[in-house]
Structure formats: C-alpha cells, structure tokens
Chains A and B, each alone.
Chain A
Amino acid sequence: MSDAKRETARKSSIADLKTMKTIKGERRTKMQNDEKSTRSIRTSKRTKTKRSETVAENGIRNTILHSARHGPLPQPTQHGRITRVFGTVVIARPLAIAMNEIVRVGEQRLLGEVIRINSDTATIQVYEDTAGLRPGEPVTGTGHPLAVELGPGLLGNVFDGIQRPLSSLVDEQGAFMGCGAVIPSLDRKRRWRFNPVVHDGMRVTGGQRIGYVEEFAGFKHHIMVPHGLDGVIRSPRQGDFTVDEVLCEIIGATPSTTGKVRMMQSWPVRTPRPVERKHAPTTPLITGQRVVDALFPIAKGGTAIVSGPFGSGKTVLQHQLAKWSDADIIVYVGCGERGNEMTEVLVEFPKLKDPRSGKPLMQRTALIANTSNMPVAAREASVYTGATIAEYFRDMGYDVALMADSTSRWAEALREISSRLGEMPVEEGYPAYLTTRIAEFYERAGVITLLGATADHTTDSAAGTTGSLTIIGAVSPPGGDFFEPVTQASLRVVKTFWALDARIAQQRHFPSIHWLNAYSLYRFTLRDWYDRNAGPDWNSDVTAVLSLLQEESRLLEIVRLVGSDALPDSQRFTLHTSRLIREGLLQQEARNERETYCSLARTRQMLRAMAEYHTVGARAIARGIPLQDIVLRKVDIAIFSLRHAPDDAFDASVTAIHADIAAIDKTMTGKPSDINVQRGRPKQPDGGGA
C-alpha cells in the first residue's frame, strides 16, 4: 500500500523537477525581456541585470541536469493568442496546454491558470489586472501547474496568493502592485549552512530528512529527499549553500529514482503532499484561550471553523490562535481580507514572543497576504499555497497550524470565477463543486506518519516520526446567518465549530464564542489526554460548566418574564455562578498583556475553582443557608480576579479561594446580613482586578 503511495509520490516529484526547470527557463526569457525594456528606459538599474544573469545561469544548469537525467526536453509549449478578454478571464487559442497549467498572458506576461479546455480554445483565469489586454496578444504555456517553492526562507516572510514575496515586490514595483512581476519566492542569493545527518553511501528514500539548516536559532529546517528519489546518497557535506545549489546526489536503481538534492523543492499547490499514514488526532492544540482550551478544544491535526458576522471578532480570534497556539509553525493566510489587518500582523508579530520558547513569533510564522483588493484568482489560489507550505513543514515532523481568514472570500472567488465561466450555479450562486473543494481543503489536515520515517531511524533521533497539520478556517456568513452554503459545507467536514455571535460581541464579551451554539467533537477524543495532563477533574468540570450555562439560558427566560426575585435561592445561585463562568472564564481580553495568553495550568485552576464553588455553594443552599451568605463572602470576586492575577501570586490566590470554599462547606447556618445584595448578582470588580 505504501509502495503504491511512494510510486505516486515519485511521479509527482518528477513532475516537480520538470516544473522547476521550466520555471527557470521562463524566468530567464522574462528577465531578458525585462532587461531590454529596462535598459531602454533607464540604465541605472544594475541589480536587475545581475539577477537575471544568475537566474539565467541556473536555468541553463538545470536544463543540462535535466537532460542528463530525463532525456530530451519536452517540446517548448506552443504560443497561442488571445481571442477574448472579459474581466479577469481570458480565452485563447490554439494552445497545446494542460488543465491547471500556468500560462503567461499578453505582452505584459501576466500570470494565469488554465481553468477550462475546449477543442480549440483554452479559458484562462488571470492572476493580475487585465486592463489594456487585447485580442491578438500572445499566450505562452509554461508546462507546469501552479507550484510553490519550499525551502529555507519561508518563515518570517510575507507572500501574496501565488507566493511572490511582497517585500521584494515593493522593492521592484513600489507601494502599489504592478503586473507581470517575476520574482523568485525564495531568496536565491542567501546562503544557508547545511548540516547533514546522513553519511556517504547511506540508503535514503523520498521524504527522508538528510540534514538541516538552522533557519533561526534553535529551529531546524529539515532538508528532505525530494519525493520519488530512492537510492544511495553520495557525498553529503556540511557547507554554505544557496537554495538552488546541489547539496548531494542520490543514486537510485533506475534513472527516475536518481537525482540531485537541493535545499529548495517545488510542489504543485493543488496536490496534497503524500504521507505514509494518517492517524486520529489525540493531542489538543493548546491555544492559551480559555474558552477554546476548556470548552471547545481543537486537536493537533484537527479542523475548526470560526464563523460569525462582521464585528464579532473572527480576525482577532484567528490572530490570538496564531500568536499563542502551541504549534511549531504557523501559516497564516489572509485571504481577501483587510490590508490594514495584515499590517497589524506585520507590526505586531515581530514584537511578540512565543510563551514557550521565548523566541519572536515571526520566526515560526509564514504569512500569505492576498487582501480583498488584490486579484481574485490569486485569492482563490492563496489557501492552497498556504496549505502546501504548511504540509511541507508538517513533513519535517512539526506540528503546524494553518489559519485561513477568510474561507468565505475564497469561496466567493470560486463563485466569481465560476459565474464568469457561465457554470450552472447551485445554492446562492456558488458552483456545485463548492462542497467538494471545501472538503478537500480540510482533508489536508491530519496527524501523519512521515514519509520515509520507517527508514529514518538512522537519522536525527531528536526529530519525531509524526507531524500534524491543524486547519482553522474563518467563515464570514452573509448577515451572520449560519444557514448559508459555506458555513454548512464546512460544518459537514470540520469537527470544531466556534460560532461567534453579534449580540455577545455587542456586549463586549470577547471572544464572542456562543457557548450554546459552539461545539467541539474533539472534547470526546481528547478525554484521555486531558485526564492524564489536566487532572482527573477536568472532564467532569467541563461537563458541569457546560450544563450550568445551558441551565442559565433556561433560567434567564424565566427571569425575563417574572424577574429574578421570583426564583428560589438554588436557581439564583446558578445564575450567580454561570455569570461568574461567563465573565471569569469565557471572557478574555486579547489586548490585555496579562490576559492575552492563559496557560492550561491556569485555565485548569480557574475551572476547578468555579466548579468547586458551584458544587459547594449549591450544597450549602440545599442545607438551608441563604444565598446572600454565600455571595457576601465574595469568593466569586476572588475567583474572577484570577483572570488578571500575576503568575507569582496566582497559586496563593487559588489556595486562599479553596480555603474560602471549604469554609462555605463548613457553615452550618447562615447569619442574617444587613447588606442589600441586588437581584442576586454580584457586581463585577474593577477591570484591574487587584
């Protein structure tokens, strides 16, 4: 079975290598063209010429390599011509091209992708602005599908939807996005120190880690054998290389399994990277967000959606998860969202530190920013670009989390393209294949055994043999109505649903996850983990809290009709504790330095205190002790204050609280009090919480 998989992998990998070759060739021509035009306009831009020379050299070298390995080059793809332009869609003919092949459109050489083929015409979705494009202009195939470059240099970088580094685009085109830019995704000049973990003559196979680059202090970027190669490794050596220099060679039994290894690989974005095996997730992704970790957890390798109307805090929640989740790598895809929000990420992330490693968050993050005003086809591609980069890190054995904000914009891009093609629309104008695409996307998540892991025992023992990819998608339902195709299609595949609510957000309760509508199916699969790692009470406490909140909503119905004074003490106490749970546990201020991240240990203590307080309090009331007497002890305020308690004072506060709770249990009779407690609810203490 795994042999068959490897065979597939091998094939894709060969396609890959071809891909790379062609990209290079393409670039060379493009660069030369550029050069001509640049020279005629202004001669000062020497850097460009230099780069084009390097690239051209690489192109030639690769061509030679290729012919050595794979025989003669495939025929250069034909030129076609444009016959029609409407919006971002172009029709061209005649073209001997394949479905999803990348093409260069018009004299500006805009990037496009083939999305339909008729007997003599091809329909092309263009990734850039088509203004001025006219019939008769040339179209050239590149012979490869949309692919991304994978290697050192991805982390800490920002790319557009088709993996062009935005910083280089600024250097090249200025602050506004131009057209037809060809910029390598990974820096071709920078040298990285390669540290091999295999030695000459060892047998290696596709996906196996043969060495690493320390991309950042303490972070190993593993270099893997390209899929498809299988054989004996020749002369791996330590040294400084650029991403496209040859590190070593692998001599296989057949020419197709033989090849050279570079730091950089390329992979077609719409094809999931192969894995040895997928497993059921068993470990939670700890996010530092109490409502998530306690009530609606997500597993490493799991899937979730954040759905809610505008202003409900989807993006803030996504940012929080990207900042504080205990994943090794975060890939954040800003898909059709606000430009200023991406700026926010770019400004904030470098300043923040990972609470576990103390390293800047940016060093574990790769950003894809295709904002709402950037071309719609690149937006469609952006989630795949993100998924492929995420899978690449997963294949090294890391826990990776992919955030896609927002998948609705991606779905709308699908709809837009589909409608331009005149495809039959189904629900709300979306194409019929929307559900399939959504399902396929989330299926890229999972816990996996690394390809080549079985052969890997000789290599880096510190690195594990499994990796995981968690996918968290934001959904922006029109009008906040969850009964719309994107939310519904996503809910069929994801296991966690963080339903954000406009009313809750308006009450400034954040994160505005609706505790009655949200759910997580991982709560059950992760029971064992929590039992072992969060104490024996955790699971029962969570269940107790959830049922309390359920009970609260029932009681509030009654209160609205008759007022809370009409309720018996036991029910008023339920209102009292559920309010404490909402304000003390579920609410969490993203912008408050002390609150933005809450460790699992703290969450556990808070949860425990609340559950205990409720149990003991309810017991006391059953014994006939008046509600007022319990409330006046202000234990709830002490518990609430845990939210902001500094780490060094936290444990002492918890101990004090448990002592107070124990005291309630010992109270036999209540003594009447002269303080008037209004409507059975305590007032929230100061925001500072001291």
Chain B
Amino acid sequence: MREYSTIARIEGPLIFVEKTHPVGFGELVRIEVDGVMKTGQVLDTSDDVVVVSVFETTRGMHLDAKIRFLGQGVLFDASPDIIGRVFDGRGRPKDDGPAIIPATRLPVNGKPINPYARERPGDVIKTGVSAIDMATTIIRGQKLPIFSGAGLPHDELAMQIARQSTISGDASRFAVVFAGIGITEAQAHAFMDDFAASGALSRSVVFLNTAADASVERLLVPRMALTAAEYLAFDKGMHVLVILDDMTNYCEALREISAARQELPGRRGYPGYMYTDLAAIYERAGIIAGREGSITQLPILTLPGDDITHPIPDLTGYITEGQIVLSRELHNKGIYPPIDVLQSLSRLMSGSIGASKTQVDHKPVADQVFACYADGKEARGLVSIIGEDALGDDDRRSLVFAENFERRLLAQTGREDRRFDETIDIAWDLLSVYPRESLRRMSDDIKDSRYGKQDKQDNHAERQEPHAKDEQEDGGNGTGRPESGTITGNAGDERP
C-alpha cells in the first residue's frame, strides 16, 4: 500500500494531501504522526488534492505525517459477541474484554431501506414509564426523539428506558444499542455504572464518544451504532432499541466540519444538507418485510434555549414519527419524568394499541386523559385571570384532575417499572373525579366496563368534593400558576 507524506495544508480537523493515486470517496485513511496512528476519512477526492477529515484531533500533526489510503470505507466488525460490550466512537472495544472476531465487516454508512420492502410498524415496546406507555406509546420500528433541555433529566429517563424496556414475547430477542455522542466523561461513567449495576449491559451494545474525543468521530458514532443495530435486527432477528444521546452534539460536530470545509452555511450556520444527513440516520429505523427483527430509535436532543423551532429539533421533528417533549415547568415542580404529554406525540401509536396489543381501553382512556388534562391546564390559566372562585364545577374538577395526573400518573421513581394495566388503572382512578357524562371521549361500552368500578381503598380520597381536594393540594405547591416553563416556540401565541 502506497504511503504519502505530501500533506499540503492542515486546517482544523482537515488535512489536504496532494499527488496521490486515485483515492475513492469516503475511503478510510491511516495517518502516522511520529509513531502515533490516527485515522481519517476522505471527504473530497480529485486528481490534485484529497481532503481528509481526521477522527482524532489534528493537534501535533505536521506536513511530514505519513498517509495511507486503505481502499475501503469505514467498517464495523459485527459479530453476535458485540452484545454486552462497550466500544469507542470508531467501533473498537473500550472495555477489558477480548477483541471481537468479526463475523462480518459492514460499511457504517449503510444503505437506504427500499420503501417497498418496509413493513408497517404495529407492535409496542413497553418502557414501564406511564407517561410514555399511555400517551406516547413507542412502537417497534418507530423513531421517536426526546426533546429535552439543558438541566432536564433526559439521561435518567434514557437509562430508565434502556433498563426497563421490554417487548411481548421472547425477551432474549430484545437488545439495546446505546450511543453516547459527545457526552461528558461523568455522564459516560454514570451510564456504564448504571448499565453494569442493573444488569442491562448483558443485553446492550454501548458506543461511547465523550466530549473530549474528536468531534469528527461524533459523525461516526450514530452510524456505528445503527450498523450494529442493523446487524442484530436484520441478520440476527432481534428487536433493537437504539438510544442516541445526544444528537445536538452530533449536529454541532456536523456544523464544525462544514465550517472547516468552508461550505456555505444554512440556517444558524448549520449546513444546508443537515436534513439529508439526519434523515440518513433516523430513517435507519424500521422493519423489513419478511425479516424477524426491528430497529426502534430514541434519539435525545437538548434543545438550545428550550427552543423547539431551532434547526436541530425542527429538522428532527420533520423526519421522526412524533416526539416526547420534556417540560421545565414540570421538572421545577419536582415531577419526574417531566413529560409534557400535550406537546408530545407518537404518530404510529393509534393504529398499534388496543385489545390485542396493549389493552382494549388504552386509546379511549388516553384520549380522555389528554382532553381532561388539556382542560385542566386551561383552567389553571383561567384561575390566574379570574380567580378560582369564579370557576364552574367542570373547571374545578379539571384543576383537580390536572394536579392528580401530574402527581400520580406522570410522576414515578426512576426505578419504578409500571405495567400497562397499572398505568391504565391509575388513569381510571383519576378520571373518577368526573361524573360519568363528562367523559365525552369514551363510548358507553368502555365506561360500562370500568367507570366507577375501582374498589381500592385510596379511591375514597379521590371522590371527595373537588373543592375540598383542592385545598389539600394547595398546601403543597403552585397550583394554578400560569404556565411559562413549557418548551414551545409558540408560547406567546393566542388561540385563534
């Protein structure tokens, strides 16, 4: 293999190599600098000059570095043994385990799934987190991002989902691929400790690229993770949940490289091809007709300035099938997980829940809870304007409902793994503050089956007069505070 030391220019993470043999676009490059090996990838190739982006930093790089072009793209060594292992951003084992003997070596860029070969997703993944299971059910083959903000507990939520997620059927066919993209060393440790302690590691594949690692490598991590996932899902027939934490760091890296290449910037400096680039990642979720497995993606995004219209969440939202939105207001109220169910949405949910999938009353209950909670939030707004005394009975009930909903259904501990039926039971319980005829989103059949049939002891407290209940709650914390902390681009908008 020919070796060159014809670097003409070094700029940011890029090196420009001249007088090479014809080098393929996207080829992997090995660079030796004073005995230290680095790797890179070809970004631009021509007769005269080849542009290479270096995965490690170019710090210490000089014009005499030796360059070798490996004649192939970036590959991932896949094997059934990758389960339970930890890799760095370039797919090299990072734990103390033995080297992976590749069963197959796969190009990490992958290929688009032919839309004709896809199968419609229709089975749920149970996370044990009530808010998600009930209101934004995750469907196998879906891509459903978590929109979070700085300081919100998305990591805890991600870990909890990674620990608790199950599918109906054979548990050994379920795996989690976790990709830490530009996370801090401390976060990485927390994840690893948690994975190890809970035993979740035994069904997981972990890729870690920390904030200290080169940013170019961040572009590779989700691709590595998804290549591993595709191998497990479509070659080994497993159902794989891929958690990408945090895609904001990925996009920052994309912008960095784009700027270094002096490309024309798009919105807020992000490159114009960011949509295509993100789509190439997110669209790797799915199910292929005639094959066993599935890939479900749960990317996590920290919204810069809690702004949902920022290009990163915006482009993501246009590609993904819904979103789970975390709310700063709920977090400040001490609710974990602080999921804003009104802003969250799972597009694939409505066709995939119900009798044979979750529970027969799942959809009507979810719709009813959604409507009541929306009423409750509206009532809170009214309270701040006209005062609580001026409220009608329905609005009072909604106030109580909203409060109970947040405290009892949303809130759970990071270790609590709720069953579907437990979640639905709680919902029925909460709905019992309303008279039967106020539950307009449910058919009579559904109401006949469950309404007023709770026989638990604590139910008694819930049935008290709305007003009395309200006073109890009032002692605690800011009921009826106007909403402000919710993440939204339209916060100030008026209802038309």
**Binding partners A and B:** yes
Could you list which residues of chain A lie within 8 angstroms of chain B, going by C-beta atoms? 83-87, 91, 129-137, 158, 166-167, 169-170, 173-178, 309-311, 334, 336, 338-340, 342-344, 346-347, 369, 371-374, 376, 409, 412-413, 415-416, 419, 422, 425, 428-429, 476, 478-481, 501-504, 506-508, 514-517, 553, 556-557, 560, 563, 591, 678-679, 683-688
**A429-B267 in contact given A343-B120, A372-B319 (Cβ < 8 Å):** yes
Stretch at the interface among B212-220, B281-289, B421-429, B466-474: B281-289
Contacts of A502 in B (CB 8 A): 489-490
Pairs A-B, 3 closest by C-beta atoms: A479-B309, A372-B279, A84-B46
Give B55-90 as 1s and 0s: 1 = Cβ < 8 Å from A's Cβ atoms: 000000000000000001100000000000000000
Cβ–Cβ contact B22 & A135, under 8 A: yes
For B, the interface residue count at a CB cutoff of 8 angstroms equals: 87
A416 x B440 contact (CB < 8 A):
no
**Could you jot down 10 A-B contacts, CB within 8 Å?**
A132-B73, A133-B24, A175-B291, A311-B317, A369-B116, A371-B279, A416-B276, A429-B264, A479-B309, A479-B489
A684 — which chain B residues lie within 8 A by C-beta? 440
The interface-forming segment of B192-200, B341-349, B404-412 is: B341-349
Q: Is B314 part of the contact surface with A, judged by Cβ < 8 Å?
A: yes
A311's partner among B345, B385, B444, B493 (CB-CB below 8 A) is: B345
Contact A369:B392 (CB < 8 A) given known A506-B342, A686-B443: no
* A482: min CB distance to chain B, Å: 13
Judged by a CB distance under 8 angstroms, whether B386 is at the interface is yes
Given contacts A170-B116, A479-B308, 19 further A-B contacts (CB under 8 A): A85-B24, A134-B22, A134-B23, A135-B46, A135-B47, A169-B116, A175-B113, A177-B111, A309-B317, A310-B314, A311-B323, A311-B345, A339-B113, A343-B120, A373-B112, A412-B275, A480-B309, A514-B496, A556-B495
A683 to chain B, nearest CB (A): 7
In the complex, the answer to whether A86 meets B107 with C-beta atoms within 8 Å is no
Q: Is B3 an interface residue (CB 8 A)?
A: no
Judge whether A336 and B496 touch: CB under 8 Å. no
Task: Give the interface SS of chain B, mostly helix, strand, loop or mixed.
Answer: loop
**Which residues on B sit within 8 Å (CB–CB) of A481?**
309
Which of B433-478 touch A at CB < 8 Å?
A: 438, 440-444
Q: Which residues of B contact A129 (CB under 8 A)?
A: 109, 111
Indicate if the CB atoms of B114 and A169 lie closer than 8 Å: yes
Q: A340–B121 contact, CB under 8 A? A: yes
A310 and B44 CA atoms in complex are apart in Å by: 34
Complex CA distance for A585 and B52, rounded to whole angstroms = 60
- CB neighbours (8 Å) of A428 from chain B are 266-267
- Partner pick for A478 among B118, B283, B309, CB 8 A cutoff: B309
Q: Which of B118, B392, B493 contacts A342 (CB 8 A)?
A: B118
Tell me, rounded to whole Å, the shortest Cβ–Cβ distance linking A178 to chain B.
Answer: 7
Which residues of chain B in 309-328 are interfacial with respect to chain A, using CB atoms and an 8 Å cutoff? 309-311, 314-315, 317-319, 321-323
A169 vs B118: C-alpha distance when bound (angstroms): 13
Q: Is B394 within 8 A of A678, CB to CB?
A: yes
Do B44 and A86 have beta carbons less than 8 Å apart?
A: yes
A412 CB, nearest partner CB in chain B, Å: 6
Interface centre among A338, A342, A412, A480 (most CB of B within 10 A): A338
CB neighbours of A504 from chain B (8 A): 496
B→A interface (CB under 8 Å)? 22-27, 43-47, 51, 72-73, 107, 109-121, 141-142, 234, 263-267, 271-273, 275-276, 279-280, 282-284, 286, 288-289, 291, 308-311, 314-315, 317-319, 321-323, 342-343, 345, 348, 350, 370-371, 374, 385-386, 390, 392, 394, 438, 440-444, 489-490, 493-496
A439 to chain B minimum Cβ distance, whole angstroms, is 22
Q: Contact check: which of A86, A132, A416 meets B272 at CB < 8 Å?
A: A416
Interchain nearest-CB distance for A197 vs B (Å): 35
B47 touches A83 (CB 8 A): yes
Report B321 CB to chain A, min CB distance, Å. Answer: 6
Q: Which residues of B contact A174 (CB under 8 A)?
A: 117
**Contact across chains for A85 and B283 when beta carbons are under 8 A apart:** no
A503 touches B342 (CB 8 A): no
Given A84-B46, A131-B24, A591-B350, the answer on whether A412 and B490 have CB atoms closer than 8 Å is no
The reply to whether A340 and B317 form a contact with Cβ atoms under 8 Å apart is: no
Whether the pair B309, A338 counts as a contact (CB closer than 8 A) is no
CA distance A684 to B441 in the complex (A): 10
A340 touches B321 (CB 8 A): yes
> Cα distance A309–B266 when bound, in Å?
19
CB pair A338 B291 closer than 8 Å: no
Q: With a CB–CB cut-off of 8 A, which chain A residues contact B309?
A: 478-481
| Pair B275/A409 contact, Cβ less than 8 Å | yes
Once the chains bind, are B107 and A131 in contact (CB under 8 Å)? yes
Bound CA span A346–B110, Å: 24
Residues of A within 8 A of B489 (CB): 479-480, 502
With contact pairs A133-B25, A340-B321, A556-B495 given, residues A376 and B273 touching in the complex (Cβ less than 8 Å): yes
Q: Are B47 and A86 in contact (CB under 8 A)?
A: no
Interchain CA distance A504-B327 in the complex, whole Å = 20
| Given known A-B contacts A167-B116, A412-B275, A340 and B141 have beta carbons under 8 A apart | yes
Report whether A429 and B23 are in contact in the complex, using a CB–CB cutoff of 8 Å: no
On whether the beta carbons of A687 and B112 are closer than 8 Å, the reply is no
Q: Known contacts A135-B22, A503-B496; is A177 also within 8 Å of B264 by CB?
A: no
User: Are B495 and A563 in touch, CB under 8 angstroms?
Assistant: no
Query: Shortest beta-carbon distance, A265 to chain B, in Å?
Result: 25
Among B119, B141, B283, B342, max chain A CB count under 10 A is at B283
Quick check: A369 and B496 within 8 Å, CB to CB?
A: no
Determine which of A134, A425, A556, A687 lies in contact with B441 in the assembled complex, contact meaning CB atoms within 8 Å. A687
Residue among B43, B46, B110 making CB contact with A176, cutoff 8 Å: B110
Residues of A within 8 A of B322 (CB): 311
B281 to chain A, nearest CB (A): 8
The answer to whether B272 touches A85 (Cβ under 8 A) is no
**Is B496 in contact with A166, judged by CB distance below 8 angstroms?**
no
Q: Please name all residues of chain B whose beta carbon is closer than 8 Å to the beta carbon of A688 when the two chains form the complex.
A: 443-444
Residues of A within 8 A of B390 (CB): 563
Cβ distance A310 to chain B, nearest Cβ, rounded Å: 4
Q: Please judge, given known A-B contacts A169-B114, A176-B114, A419-B272, whether A686 and B440 are in contact too, CB under 8 Å.
A: yes
Question: Do A85 and B46 contact each other (CB < 8 Å), given the known contacts A516-B496, A556-B495?
Answer: yes
A-chain residues with CB within 8 Å of residue B27 when the two chains form the complex: 132
Q: Is the CB of B46 within 8 A of A175?
A: no
**Closest chain A residue to B20, Cβ basis:** A135
In whole angstroms, what is the CA distance A370 to B422 when docked?
A: 42
Given contacts A84-B46, A85-B46, is CB(A166)–CB(B116) below 8 Å?
Answer: yes
Q: Is the CB of A84 within 8 A of B280?
A: no
List A contacts of B495 (CB < 8 A).
503, 507, 556
Nearest CB of chain B from residue A478's CB, rounded to whole Å: 5
